[in-house]
Amino acid sequence: MIRMNASAGVAAFAVALVSVLAPVESTNAIARESAPATDSVSHTQSPAEEIVPHFVSREVVQTVPEVTSEQADADVNRSSLAAMVDSMPDDAPLDAQLQCLAGAIYFEARGEPLTGQLAVAEVIVNRAASGRFPASYCGVVTQKSQFSFVKRGRIPSAPTGTATWRRAKAIAQIAHRGLWRSQAKDALFFHASHVSPGWSGKRQAARIANHVFYR
C-alpha cells in the first residue's frame, strides 16, 4: 500500500513538473518566433537612421560687377566693328565717290570712336539715297553750307599714309556696302554735342561720343 502511494506521488510530481515547464517552453517558442520579425523591422528602418551629409552653399568671395545689356551690346559693337575695320583690304583702290565719303569721315570724325565715324558715314549714305539731298556722296559732302571742312566746294586732301586715313577708308567701304548698322542707322542730320542748332521736327536717333544724330 505504501509502495502504491509512492508511485502515485511520483506520478503526481511528474505531472506537476510538466505543467510548470510547459509555459516556459511556450514562452520561449513565442520569443523565438517573434525575434525574426523584430530583426526584420530593425533592418527595414536602418536606412532612415543613416547619417546623410548636408552640403551648405556659401557666397562667392569675389563679387562680379553687374553689366547692363546696353553696356554688353556696346562692347560687342566696338569689338566687332574694330575687327571688321581690320579685315578690310588696305590696298583696295577707292573710286571718286568713296574718296569723298572717306574724306568726310576723316575731316569730320577722325577723332571719334569707330562707332562715331561709322554714324557720320551713314548720314552721308542715307542722304544720297533719300531723294531729299544730292544723289551722290560727293554731291552730299560738297553741298553748300553742310560740312564746314569743305572750302569752295572742294574737299581737302587727306594724308593718305596715316593709320587714321586707313581707318577712314575702311569705314567708308563698310558704310557703302552696308556691312554694319550703327545706332544712327536712319539718321540724316548730326551736329557736335557742344552746339545747339535749335532744330525742330527732328527726332534724336543717337548720341555717340561728341556728335548727336537725328532722323
As to burial, measured by CB atoms within 10 angstroms (0-12 exposed, 13-18 middle, 19+ buried), residue 88 is: middle
Structural domain that includes position 111: 81-214
Q: How many domains does the chain have?
A: 1
The rounded percent of the chain whose pLDDT value lies above 70 is 63
- Classify residue 55: in a domain, yes or no: no
- Classify residue 74: in a domain, yes or no: no
- Classify residue 51: in a domain, yes or no: no
pTM recorded for the entire structure: 0.63
Rounded (5°) CA angle 90-212-195: 115
- Classify residue 142: in a domain, yes or no: yes
- Classify residue 153: in a domain, yes or no: yes
- Classify residue 96: in a domain, yes or no: yes
pLDDT digits 0-9 by tens, 34-59: 444 444 444 444 555 556 555 444 44
Which CATH number belongs to the domain containing residue 138 in this structure?
1.10.10.2520
pLDDT digits 0-9 by tens, 62-113: 343 454 444 444 444 556 999 999 999 888 789 999 999 999 999 999 999 9
- Cβ contacts of residue 127 below 8 Å, gap of 6+? 133, 134, 140, 188
Does residue 124 have a pLDDT over 50?
A: yes
- Classify residue 26: in a domain, yes or no: no
H/E segment holding residue 77: helix 69-87
Average pLDDT of the residues of the chain: 76
Secondary structure percentages of the chain, helix, strand, coil, to 5: 55, 5, 40
- Classify residue 57: in a domain, yes or no: no
